[in-house]
Amino acid sequence: MVNLTKKYVDEKKLIKINQLMFEILNKADDKDDFLEIVKDILSPPEQLMVAKRIAIIYLLLKGVDHSTIARYLKSSRATVAKFSLLFYDKETKLIEIIGDLLNNENINHFFEDLFADIFISSGLKIGHWQMHWDHKRRQKERTMIDA
In a domain? residue 108: yes
What is the torsion angle, in degrees rounded to the nearest 10, for the CA atoms of residue 25, residue 52, residue 138 and residue 31?
10
Is the pLDDT at 117 greater than 90? The verdict is no
More confident residue, 138 or 83: 83
pLDDT at 131: 64
As a whole number, the mean pLDDT across the chain is 79
In a domain? residue 135: yes
pLDDT tens digits for range 3-49:
667 788 888 998 999 999 999 988 888 888 888 998 999 888 888 88
- Number of domains, the chain: 1
In a domain? residue 97: no
Is the pLDDT at 70 greater than 60? The verdict is yes
In a domain? residue 30: no
Residues in CB range of 34: below 8 A, 6 or more apart: 25, 28
Say what percent of the chain tops pLDDT 90: 12
In a domain? residue 113: yes
In a domain? residue 118: yes
Is the pLDDT at 120 greater than 80? The verdict is no
Question: Which letter, b or e, does each residue of 81-106 get, where b requires 16 or more Cβ atoms within 10 Å of its Cβ?
Answer: eebeeebeeeeeeeeeebeeeeeeee
Q: Which domain holds residue 131?
A: 104-147
In a domain? residue 22: no
d(CA 74, CA 95): 22
pLDDT tens digits for range 86-98:
877 778 888 888 7
d(CA 65, CA 56): 10
In a domain? residue 98: no
Q: Is the pTM of this model over 0.95?
A: no
